[in-house]
Structure 1
Amino acid sequence: MTRTPATPLASRLALPLAGAVAVSLLLCAGPAAAQMYKWVDGNGVTHYSDAPPPPDAPARTKVEIKSFAAGPQAELPPQLAEAARYRPVTLYSTSPCDICDQARAMLQARGIPYKEKTVNTPEDRAALNQAGGNGQLPLLLVGRTRQIGFEQNSWDVLLSDAGYPTQNMLPPDFRQAAPTPAAPPPQPSAEEQAAAAAKAAADEAARLKKLPPLNATPDFQF
């Protein structure tokens, strides 16, 4: 078994039930990728949520994935849908990082739907550590199991144990969600928003003040 060493981050940063259950998983391909779940329980009640169906929902499910950027829906095969539902895959990566590129290419070649979290700032590094990393990349999370560093055989075994197919079964029109920062940028505080609004208003007032009067002659100057 040939093991490819991980890249140190520090060097880069300084049985079905009655009634079928239909689950629609929507992936938004873009910088603000989001998930929305729509599912129908055994009583025929439709649920909409940003969280997956509860664990006591029937294991036999039909999952549809839609890319808002591409438009058409892509239905996942049952085995892949179940694995993605109960043991989602998350890849922590950085750039430039050849090993991360190899890891990503492996997931794509095997047809694994995954989320990618990029690690490029100290805040991202803190989020990586919170996720169970040790400062090395890439980091793979499959459900609650983690694998630090890229070793294809180990990743293959981990994914197979989690129920993912060994062959690529993704529909041709499937679109992978765009990577997002491991730590989303902080939102401005109320004080910062108020200060920005006040500055914008002052700038606009200054601009209007410089405009010549409506009845000014062509040679009018302040």
Structure 2
Amino acid sequence: MRPTPPTAALLLMLAALAAMPASAQYKVIGPDGRVTYTDRPTTDPAHRVQALRKSGAGAGDDAAAPLATGLPQALRQPVARFPVTLITTPDCGPCDTARQQLQRRGVPYTELGVATPEDQQALQRLTGGLTVPSVSIGSQVMRGWQESDWMATLDLAGYPKESALPKGWRWAAVRPLAAPRPAAEPADERPAPSAATAPAAPPPVPTESIGPVPQIRF
């Protein structure tokens, strides 16, 4: 199913984000709905104040700083403020197309793969669905490959329309979307107590079934 194209209001919001001062730390919403960005929060109770997370609060925020290292000036600001995270799954034709288009345009990105039930659950939490490819550009998340929508959002975020990457640039390998589970602790090798001294086993605790994991769509 093709996702709904962004509305005019969404494009205006993205344009405002692209023009936001680099030093802005707060988003202030007035009683009339007008939005302003500032480095100091207001104390006016009629205004709503939201603290901004660094780098646009995207899924790949922690990778934005190393991505910006060694980039030309044209890419440093958009990568720092609106990092791009591509979410894919193996054997996905639209994922391959999205990846190729980002690389052709010269967009540095972090790629996260969906391969396990834990990855699927993380995808559901992050994007509100199970559609791949998905992309986050700063705080804007889009599900499903829509070239015009993705490219328009990259334009508003300030990414060059043609590749400005240095020669020999390489994108990082795909990482799992969900954090790996911690390693299990080694089993206790002490001899088990005899039946005469072993304490009675506690009754089983009922657990809630989460049901089958939904299938990825693309």
Which residue identity does 2:165 align to in structure 1? L
Partner of 2:148: 153
Task: Answer yes or no: is the 8 Å Cα contact 1:65–1:174 preserved in 2.
Answer: no
Q: Give the alignment's TM-score, normalised by structure 2.
A: 0.55
Q: Which structure features the higher share of strand residues?
A: 1
Taking every aligned residue pair, what percent have the same amino acid on both sides? 35
Partner of 1:170: 165
Deviation at 1:195, TM superposition (A): 2.5
Residue among 106, 109, 112 paired with 1:111? 106
Deviation at 1:185, TM superposition (A): 1.8
Partner of 2:132: 137
Task: Answer yes or no: is the 8 Å Cα contact 1:117–1:179 preserved in 2.
Answer: yes
1:76 aligns with 2:71: yes
Task: Answer yes or no: is the 8 Å Cα contact 1:113–1:176 preserved in 2.
Answer: yes
Task: Answer yes or no: is the 8 Å Cα contact 2:67–2:79 preserved in 1.
Answer: no
Could you tell me how far apart the structure 2 residues matched to 1:65 and 1:144 are? Answer: 17
For 2:135, what is the secondary structure of its paired residue? strand
Could you tell me how far apart the structure 1 residues matched to 2:106 and 2:163 are? Answer: 4
Change in Cα spacing, 1:171 to 1:150, as seen in structure 2 (3 Å) is: same
Partner of 1:120: 115
Task: Answer yes or no: is the 8 Å Cα contact 1:91–1:139 preserved in 2.
Answer: yes
For 1:131, what is the secondary structure of its paired residue? helix
Deviation at 1:102, TM superposition (A): 0.2
Task: Answer yes or no: is the 8 Å Cα contact 1:92–1:119 preserved in 2.
Answer: yes
Task: Answer yes or no: is the 8 Å Cα contact 1:118–1:179 preserved in 2.
Answer: yes
Could you tell me how far apart the structure 2 residues matched to 1:119 and 1:146 are? Answer: 16
Runs of 4+ in 1 over 4 A off after TM superposition: 63-66
Deviation at 1:64, TM superposition (A): 7.7
Query: Which structure has the greater CA radius of gyration?
Result: 1
Instruction: Provide the alpha-carbon RMSD of the alignment.
Output: 3.0
- List runs of 5+ in structure 2 lacking aligned partners: 4-20, 23-53, 56-64, 190-218
For 2:185, what is the secondary structure of its paired residue? helix
Residue among 161, 167, 180 paired with 1:185? 180
Task: Answer yes or no: is the 8 Å Cα contact 1:116–1:179 preserved in 2.
Answer: yes
Partner of 1:195: 187
For 1:134, what is the secondary structure of its paired residue? coil
Partner of 1:44: none
Q: Output one character per residue of 1:47-83: Cα deviation in whole Å (capped at 9) or x when no partner.
A: xxxxx79xxxxxxxxx8869xxxxxxx7212121110
Equivalences, count? 135
Change in Cα spacing, 1:78 to 1:64, as seen in structure 2 (3 Å) is: farther
Task: Answer yes or no: is the 8 Å Cα contact 2:74–2:164 preserved in 1.
Answer: no
Could you tell me how far apart the structure 2 residues matched to 1:194 and 1:120 are? Answer: 27
For 1:193, what is the secondary structure of its paired residue? coil
Residue among 87, 90, 94 paired with 2:89? 94
